[in-house]
Structure 1
Amino acid sequence: MLTRPCTFILFILWITMAQIPGQEDKEKTTALKDLLSRIDLDELMKKDEPPLTFPKTLEEFEYTFNEQGQLRHTTTGEAFVFNAREDLHRWNQKRYEALGEEGYGVMVLNPNENHLEVERPAKPTPLPSSEASDEPAEKRECKHDRESKKKRDFYEKYRNPQKESETEQIPIRENGSPEEHLLYVWDHFVSNAAARNVFIVAHSYGGLSLVELMCQREAQVKDRVCAVAMTDSVHNIWHQDASKSIQEWLQQHCRNWVSSPEPLDTPVEPMLPDCPRLSAGTERHELTSWRSFNSIFQFFSKALQTGDEYEESSNTVTTRSSHRTKHEHNHDD
């Protein structure tokens, strides 16, 4: 009779001892979570990393795009390496992000899409007439020919899927033509953008649309646009009645890379006195933008640098003029 109480007491003691380590582990886990919540992992990673100061331009990074459009190091010719410094993932990521920022926000226009094509509802098939059996033989033969034609058309749809359904065109509001499209985008987006310097790449008919935009918004374009790169543009300043002031502005701020067998950037005899023409290094019209890619951005960079120097010069002149005026005014007093 004494063995049962002893066994019961020992069993309770074993359960109690088994619960104590579990409670301690739980308390330790809670304490560890509390400690980790107080640690700023970002600050911990910053401890041994270099300063997050990076170049501002692609050239300062010593990278450029080659003729195949690939990003390569200007000295070694190697592709971009993400892990420039081992065990510094945060620094490498920030460097990668800085490289990706060339200071450009890109807006791509689609001036050739001026309408939407939607499938036209199929016409209802007329029900067969109850008096068909009473039709003359000649009429039944004509009907047979029409049905045969329908069958041929039916199989033709599978041979030529483009004829499978008829479509109708729905015009896009305020985008009835490429010129109207560009004007709409300028008035609603570009003119309201926060960008201080606007650069434009106008391919083919895009050059004509740009000249038309200048004819209607000359002052605004001159105030916002820093440089224009045309690629095989089809504009004509005479047919478009471009003013002399527009022609002079294009001469100074625009370049047209045209299809030509000459090497890239070779001067080409201008057809009209509007903007200098350079060879795009290809005779294929559709490749002129891609082949002149690097030259275009070098042209943009130079135009931006020239504009900044001009702005600094203007500010300096204004400051000196203001100082001189103030000095003369005090002297007169």
Structure 2
Amino acid sequence: MFVFLFTLLLPVFCLIMAQLQQAGGPEEKEKTTALKDLLSRIDLDELMKKDEPPLEFPDTLEGFEYVFNEMGQLRHIKTGEPFVFNYREDLHRWNQKRYEALGEIITKHVYELLEKECHLQKVYLPVDANEDEPKSFIFMSKDAMTNSDKLLVLIHGTGVVRAGQWARRLIINEDLDSGTQIPYIKRAIKEGYAVIVLNPNENYIELEKDKVPEQQPSPDSSDEPAEKRERRERNPKDTKKRRDFYEKYRNPQKEKETLQVYIRENGSPEEHALYVWDNLISKAPAENVFFVAHSYGGLTFVELMIHREADVKNKVTAVALTDSVHNLWHQEASKTLENGCVRIAVIGCRAVNHWTHR
């Protein structure tokens, strides 16, 4: 009702303002100023909130009355129809929040599929984390640290996607095969590859401000190399604006004021990839390591190359970049990196530069 009235009154306000401005007298200017002040006090977002139902949504697919059918398509339990975004007419914000709530359930569903169908194991990061500190996680096949032949590493892009996903929109509107990494994982395992699935967007936990514990210094902070310390301090700040842009839509139930507590040495996609490389991939016995990196994952891989150039060239056999957004000049890659020693298949790539096999 509030939005409807505002929509009707706004053209009237604009017309009155235009007439007053044309009149031009001191009294009219004073009225114009007062009217502008009135309009500035109208918060459309707040009006929309008053006119919409509570942002309370189910926490299961069944609660939403949706299920994935045998073809991996999301369908309504009763009608068999695909997901409908405009569930309530003229309530875009509410519909968007509903979509995001469903997306969070989809993320948990994909995690379950990685463990149950792909038989991957969840590995928590940092690997030496104590019980109380924030943690992230990745998924690995059981032979990731024993397979001496082949290892496939998957890196998704930025935004709301998490481990095992390429695009949430495709999962909801198309099917699981289109939007998840599951087909890659199943085929890789069938062909004898070990698999590691990175989770580069899981960089922090959110706590209510009144429940945030005092920050304790890292136990090895005094022995931490300056390069690592600078990267840890810089990356969360460098990527905060980009992350905030996506994350403000991620949690529809978040109404209380919260604080982001970053995960040690995993506070950004770039830092996460570097940490997994140092602590797991570089220690894996596989003679041939292959990467598939999508969108921002391509940029993340390039950052890994920049910081671990010799090691990556030594261990990585090939990299496929799908719709990558990396930029060798912007990321200040070395000349040897630009000339290229790694064979890269670029699929639908937006990248400014890429390597070719020498």
TM-score range, shorter chain: 0.3 to 0.5
Q: TM-score, normalized by length of structure 2?
A: 0.34
The structure with the greater share of residues assigned to helix is: 1
Bigger RCO (CA 8 Å, 6+ sep): 2
Q: TM-score, normalized by length of structure 1?
A: 0.36
